[in-house]
Structures are given as structure tokens and as C-alpha cells.
């Protein structure tokens, strides 16, 4: 109960921008940089998969390699975090 009262007094800016990164042991900037990196790589993987769908001889393993590399990156960030117990397998 006390935790909910503390969180509710912090306001919407904290809830929307700071609470999640803080729960993972990160600043907003560090979280944002990681999210942009992951999002950019997944966009590249998606484009490669669409091209591969149309021309099967191109990008035969690009999307899979990017997804594997992205997963490994997330797991490393989790392991290096001061609060790895707060991370799910999909948190960025």
C-alpha cells in the first residue's frame, strides 16, 4: 500500500518516462539508447525478411542472425544490470 502511495505522488511524468527504466536499473537516456538500437536492428531484420520473401536467394539468414544478436544483447544488458531480477526476458 505504501508503495502505491509513493508511486501515485510522483506523477505522470515519472510513471511514463522514469519508473520503468529505474526499475531496470537504468537512466532514461540509457534505456532510450538501448531501445532505439534494438528497434533499429529489428526494422533492418524486418526489411531483410520482406526482401527475402520476394527474392528467396537474398538475405537467407539475415533476419535470424539479427534476432539472435538482439536477444543476446538484451540478455547481456540484463546480466549487467544492478537489478536483473526485475527484468523479464523481453524487457529492453
What is the residue extent of each domain of the chain? 2-86
Q: From residue 82, how far is each of 42, 50, 73 by CA, in Å?
A: 26, 38, 16
Q: Using CA of residue 70, residue 79, residue 8, residue 2, what is the dihedral sign?
A: positive
What does the pLDDT read at residue 1? 39
pTM: 0.75
Residue 78: half-sphere exposure toward Cβ, Cα within 13 Å: 15
Structure-block grid coordinates of residue 36 = 532505439
Kindly give the residue spans of alpha helices, DSSP state H, lying in the chain. 2-10, 12-13, 19-23, 28-54, 62-80
d(CA 28, CA 26): 7
Among the residue ranges 3-7, 25-29, 37-41, 76-80, the one predicted with the least confidence is 3-7
What does the pLDDT read at residue 2? 43
Amino acid at each position: 500500500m505504501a508503495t502505491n502511495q509513493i508511486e501515485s505522488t510522483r506523477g505522470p511524468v515519472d510513471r511514463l518516462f522514469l519508473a520503468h527504466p529505474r526499475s531496470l536499473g537504468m537512466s532514461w537516456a540509457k534505456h532510450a539508447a538501448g531501445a532505439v538500437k534494438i528497434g533499429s536492428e529489428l526494422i533492418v531484420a524486418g526489411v531483410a525478411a520482406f526482401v527475402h520473401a520476394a527474392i528467396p536467394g537474398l538475405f537467407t539468414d539475415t533476419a535470424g542472425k539479427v534476432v539472435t544478436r538482439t536477444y543476446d544483447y538484451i540478455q547481456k544488458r540484463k546480466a549487467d544490470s544492478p537489478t536483473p531480477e526485475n527484468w523479464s526476458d523481453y524487457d529492453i
